[in-house]
Copies of this chain bind each other. A is one copy, B any other.
Amino acid sequence: MKRAMKSALKIAIVQFNPVVGDVAGNARRIIDLALEAAEKGADIAVYPELCLIGYSHHDLLDNDYVVSSIEHALAWIHQHVPPHMALVVGTVRRNPSKTGKKLFNSAAFLELDKPAQFVDKMLLPTYDLYDEYRYFEPAKAQSPISFRGTKLGIHICEDMWNLEKYANYLIYERNPLEELIDKGAEILINLSASPFSHGRHDLRTNLIQDICRQYRVPFLMSNQVGANTEMVFDGDSRVHAANGDLLRCAPSFEETVLYWDNTDLTPLEIPTHDRIEDLFIALVCGIREYDKKTGIFNKLLVGLSGGIDSAVTAALAVEAVGAHRVMGITMPSKYSSEGSVTDSMSLADNLGIPCHTIPIEDTIESFKNILEPIFQGTTEGLAEENIQARTRGLTLMAVSNKFNHLVLATGNKSEMAMGYATLYGDMAGGLAVLADVFKVDVYLLATYINQRAGRVLIPASTISKPPSAELRPDQLDQDSLPPYPVLDEILRLYIEERLDVHAICKTLGHPKSFVLGILSSVDRNEYKRKQAAPALRVSKKAFGTGRRIPIVMKLDRLGLETLKQELKIEAHA
């Protein structure tokens, strides 16, 4: 009667928001939450992957002092585990072997006055944003940990993602879940630091349900929440029953503790998600967390142009930190439409934020004067347009420096892709809010923001006017770029789906030279993105850490075709 021997278990799933690097602070909060869970009668509290150092730590782990600190903090936590309770804490562990990477990405199983047990991560994502093999040795074996008669299949993040159905190509040869099940695991417990991107919820639901059904055990995931620089974590921690039913689901983007009694099998309805609503909440979270975790800024500052990007950015900022901590500045030049000021003023009124007007025409003239001797005989063009954009950037940075405000950069993903933005100008800022949001989605966000508020926050004229950088008379984005719905789909296929010119033309039916021109623009403008502010990542492939493209390079698609033709001719000769 093995089954009768088991205790019922009450498990606390801690959807934890660590501060990266703040090992001591994270340790204290881990224990605070453990005490709370103990009071509620939890037998186990499960925390996310690497929660002691926070994801992503990046090269902090190259500093031996940081690694020692994690060890000390883990020892401190171990001393403070509430009696009669086990904590499962994401940490690093030194590799005792003389070869291999120096660390394991590990889950510590801690009970008071008993030796710590560890489960190491086997599958180490090393793609996109993830560099885990840079730091960690993969586990050689996976075994469950027994606790009060139940074998707990503890494992870490990627270890759950190697189900054949979900990989059109399996990166890893091993399946840690299978090893755990083979060794008798009766419940799968996943510690994650799995960031948000469009559609991630549904993917997780499907994957976890399939895991449950395949292995016939319940599945529980504790995921990191919050945001750290560019990475935004929705949490989405859950419990699923052995039949796949969803039993518990944490609210997205909030630090919280879920409790589950393993005898409770009452199913919940699977929550549905709206893509634009998710996007809104993710961006708000990203702004709020950047502000809170840096903890040094008085206000968030947005340069308002009357256009949709700055309007949406300002509205997101207000949602993130409150109107009292957001300030707008509008900086008209002689090319600015009347709407650039009036729409900015209406927006600011609607949002309840101050909007200062700083006319920049005199300063632009002053630049032209000092440059006159060297510019004489040339015709006005890009250089003069950029002077305007950079005068605005400089003005915002001056206000930022003076009052300790954070400048939010407002450029969207379409512009960042095409280099349709001025380095040190409209690209200036500490955080790029929309740089992973295509222009068509910026419009959807604007509409959503007004709907959500139940009133007009973003003026109708801002939404309806044709996009313009207003850097020369009658300038429109459409003069330099294809219509955004056309452009964005090409960009999405190139950047997010990694298709190239032939496949894109085949999918969308555009002429080759048209697509080629766009892809070349994307390639050519990597130097601008290299110097861009960090961008909140909300898609599966964002500019930034997760997309590493050389600056000095030549992707000569035409040269390659000639070479291929020579190859064919000779092959048939």
Binding site for B on A (CB under 8 A): 19-25, 27-28, 54, 56-60, 62-66, 69, 72-73, 75-76, 79, 98-102, 126-127, 131, 133-134, 169-173, 227-229, 289-290, 293-294, 356, 358-360, 362-363, 365-367, 369-371, 373-375, 378, 381-384, 386-387, 390-391, 393-395, 397-399, 401-402, 423-424, 428, 430, 498-503, 527, 530-534, 545, 547-556, 559-560, 562-564, 566-567, 570-571
Contacts and interface: CB of A to CB of B under 8 A. Distances in A.
A545 B383 CA distance: 30
Given A367-B363, A560-B72, A64 B500 contact: yes
- What DSSP secondary structure best describes chain A's contact surface? helix
Contacts of A381: 402
A567 B75 CA distance: 7
Contacts of A551: 229, 534
A102 B169 contact: yes
Contacts of A69: 560
Q: Which 10 A-B pairs have the closest CB atoms?
A: A65-B500, A24-B559, A383-B401, A21-B553, A383-B402, A20-B553, A366-B366, A22-B554, A424-B424, A58-B548
A559 B386 CA distance: 46
A60 B20 contact: no
A99 to B, nearest CB: 4
A398 B393 contact: no
Contact of A356 (B79, B126, B171, B374): B374
Contacts of A75: 567
27 contacts: A19-B553, A19-B554, A20-B550, A21-B553, A56-B550, A58-B549, A60-B553, A60-B555, A65-B500, A65-B501, A65-B503, A76-B566, A98-B170, A99-B173, A126-B126, A228-B553, A289-B552, A359-B370, A363-B363, A383-B401, A383-B402, A386-B397, A386-B401, A387-B398, A391-B394, A394-B424, A534-B551
Q: How many copies does the complex hold?
A: 2
Given A131-B548, A533-B531, A548-B131, A72 B564 contact: yes
Nearest to A327: B374
A359 B366 CA distance: 11
Given A133-B134, A365-B366, 8 more contacts: A59-B547, A66-B500, A66-B555, A76-B567, A289-B552, A375-B402, A397-B424, A531-B531
A498 B126 CA distance: 23
A421 B356 CA distance: 28
Contact of A498 (B64, B293, B556): B64
A66 to B, nearest CB: 7
Given A58-B549, A62-B498, A423 B402 contact: no
Given A362-B366, A374-B356, A394-B424, A99 B552 contact: no
Contacts of A57: 550
Contact of A76 (B23, B367, B553, B563): B563
Nearest to A167: B99
A498 B548 CA distance: 25
Contacts of A63: 498, 500
A20 B552 contact: yes
Nearest to A402: B383
A72 B424 contact: no
Nearest to A125: B134
Nearest to A527: B430
Contact of A552 (B171, B293, B499): B293
A509 to B, nearest CB: 19
Given A359-B370, A370-B358, A554 B21 contact: yes
Contacts of A498: 62-64
A398 B383 contact: yes
Contact of A398 (B127, B131, B367, B430): B367
Identify which of A22, A24, A64, A173 gathers the most chain B CB atoms within 10 Å of its CB.
A24
A289 B553 CA distance: 11
A420 to B, nearest CB: 15
Given A171-B99, A424-B393, A500-B64, A567 B374 contact: no
A559 to B, nearest CB: 4
A395 B370 contact: yes
A29 to B, nearest CB: 12
Nearest to A289: B552
A291 B439 CA distance: 34
Nearest to A533: B531
A98 B387 contact: no
Contacts of A134: 126-127, 131, 133
A555 B21 CA distance: 5
Contacts of A560: 23-24, 69, 72-73
Given A25-B559, A370-B359, A390 B383 contact: no
Nearest to A494: B63
Contacts of A503: 65
A361 to B, nearest CB: 9
Contacts of A549: 58-60
A369 B362 contact: yes
A386 B370 contact: no
Nearest to A356: B374
Contacts of A545: 548
Contacts of A66: 500, 555
